[in-house]
């Protein structure tokens, strides 16, 4: 079984100002990134389906964000994962590991075949990211609320060295109930970490129900602003909107937060906005149905 591959166009990875406008002009960027995102979703569903374990909802909601980071915004070199000037990405919501694994494989950090061994004993792809096992993973995450703080530490370290690279972090909305997120938010704001860009995958659902019902985040943009961050709100499943926001965030003189409004389970109709698919794998039949739906999209 093979995923339908988008045509690999010759658009270079870049993070420079104005790039999105140039590329939008020739109309290829959306097609390029959406094609990759479709493949990534196919891989996410298949790897979780084969593993019969994992978190499809939050992996699918953030797929477009990760595609924009790895195939548009970030300077990185899969051939040389330890390159000192690389931009770094931290998946603070570590349970979306399948999305990260899919973009890392697609980038060339490891063979795509590894995806089909997700969560198996001896696999390089653990249930949650492990930097010692998976090439391209910068720091191990999974226990929520800690990745953003680690990203702050990385941003501080690079700034001390005069390294121009950026740190990107993806956090969840359920994860934002962790106090650790706000400790990190306060430190980053105080330190004016302008090399730190965080994206909130605001899909509105967590294990026990909707975030609003469990412990609502309130005016989340206002909260981040009050912690000294520049905040943008975008449609987190629109690749061009995400790219524009990432470009804009790169020019901020303080840490930048992109509140990305997303749909949990995006791209598979029966998973969309369905809380049951937070941490439940599709059955083999559901997997086939989902893969066909993605192929036809």
Footprint of other proteins (CB under 8 A): 88, 90, 130-132, 138-143, 145-147, 149-158, 160-161, 163, 179-180, 183-184, 186-187, 190-191
The rounded distance, in Å, linking the Cα atoms of 285 and 1 is 15
Of the two residues 10 and 132, which places its CB atom closer to other proteins in the complex? 132
Of the two residues 61 and 140, which places its CB atom closer to other proteins in the complex? 140
8's CB contacts (< 8 A; 6+ apart) are none
Q: Could you tell me the two tokens for 260?
A: 């990305």
Q: Are 151 and 191 in contact (CB under 8 A)?
A: no
Instruction: State in angstroms the smallest separation of the CB of 241 from other proteins.
Output: 29
Instruction: State in angstroms the smallest separation of the CB of 56 from other proteins.
Output: 23
Instruction: State in angstroms the smallest separation of the CB of 234 from other proteins.
Output: 26
Q: Would you say the C-alpha torsion 119, 3, 56, 151 has a positive or negative sign?
A: positive
Instruction: State in angstroms the smallest separation of the CB of 149 from other proteins.
Output: 3
Q: What are phi and psi of 185, to 5 degrees?
A: -60, -40
Of the two residues 63 and 158, which places its CB atom closer to other proteins in the complex? 158
Instruction: State in angstroms the smallest separation of the CB of 158 from other proteins.
Output: 6
Q: Would you say the C-alpha torsion 60, 62, 68, 73 has a positive or negative sign?
A: negative
Instruction: State in angstroms the smallest separation of the CB of 90 from other proteins.
Output: 8
Q: Could you tell me the two tokens for 85?
A: 């000037």
Q: Determine whether 281 is exposed, middle or buried from the number of CB atoms within 10 Å of its CB (0-12, 13-18, 19+).
A: buried
Of the two residues 161 and 208, which places its CB atom closer to other proteins in the complex? 161
The rounded distance, in Å, linking the Cα atoms of 288 and 74 is 33
Q: How many CB atoms lie within 10 A of CB 284?
A: 11
Instruction: State in angstroms the smallest separation of the CB of 12 from other proteins.
Output: 26
Of the two residues 193 and 234, which places its CB atom closer to other proteins in the complex? 193
Q: What is the CA angle 175-180-182, rounded to 5?
A: 90
The rounded distance, in Å, linking the Cα atoms of 181 and 268 is 30
Of the two residues 45 and 96, which places its CB atom closer to other proteins in the complex? 96
Q: Which of 236, 284, 84, 98 is nearest to 75 (CA)?
A: 84
Of the two residues 1 and 132, which places its CB atom closer to other proteins in the complex? 132
Instruction: State in angstroms the smallest separation of the CB of 208 from other proteins.
Output: 21
The rounded distance, in Å, linking the Cα atoms of 214 and 55 is 19
Of the two residues 10 and 160, which places its CB atom closer to other proteins in the complex? 160
Q: Could you give the 3-state DSSP secondary structure of residue 256?
A: strand
């Amino acid at each position: 079984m093979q995923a339908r591959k988008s045509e690999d166009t010759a658009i270079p990875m870049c993070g420079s100002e104005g790039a999105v406008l140039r590329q939008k002009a020739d109309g290829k960027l959306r097609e390029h990134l959406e094609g990759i995102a479709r493949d990534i979703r196919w891989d996410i569903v298949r790897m979780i389906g084969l593993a019969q374990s994992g978190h499809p909802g939050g992996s699918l909601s953030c797929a477009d964000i990760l595609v924009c980071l790895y195939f548009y915004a970030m300077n990185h070199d899969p051939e040389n994962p330890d390159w000192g000037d690389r931009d770094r990405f931290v998946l603070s919501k570590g349970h979306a590991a399948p999305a990260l694994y899919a973009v890392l494989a697609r980038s060339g950090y490891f063979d795509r075949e590894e995806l089909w061994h997700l969560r198996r004993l001896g696999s390089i792809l653990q249930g949650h990211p492990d930097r010692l096992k998976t090439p391209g993973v910068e720091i191990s995450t999974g226990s929520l609320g800690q990745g953003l703080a680690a990203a702050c530490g990385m941003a501080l370290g690079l700034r001390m060295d005069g390294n121009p690279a950026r740190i990107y972090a993806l956090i969840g909305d359920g994860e934002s109930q962790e106090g650790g997120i706000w400790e990190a938010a306060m430190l980053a704001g105080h330190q004016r970490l302008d090399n730190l860009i965080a994206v909130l995958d605001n899909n509105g659902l967590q294990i026990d129900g909707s975030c609003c019902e469990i412990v609502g985040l309130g005016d989340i943009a206002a909260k981040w602003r009050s912690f000294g961050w520049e905040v943008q709100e975008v449609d987190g499943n629109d690749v061009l909107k995400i790219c524009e926001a990432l470009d804009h965030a790169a020019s901020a003189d303080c840490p930048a937060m992109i509140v990305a409004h997303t749909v949990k389970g995006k791209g598979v109709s029966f998973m969309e906005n369905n809380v049951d698919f937070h941490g439940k794998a599709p059955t083999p039949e559901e997997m086939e149905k989902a893969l066909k739906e993605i192929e036809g999209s």
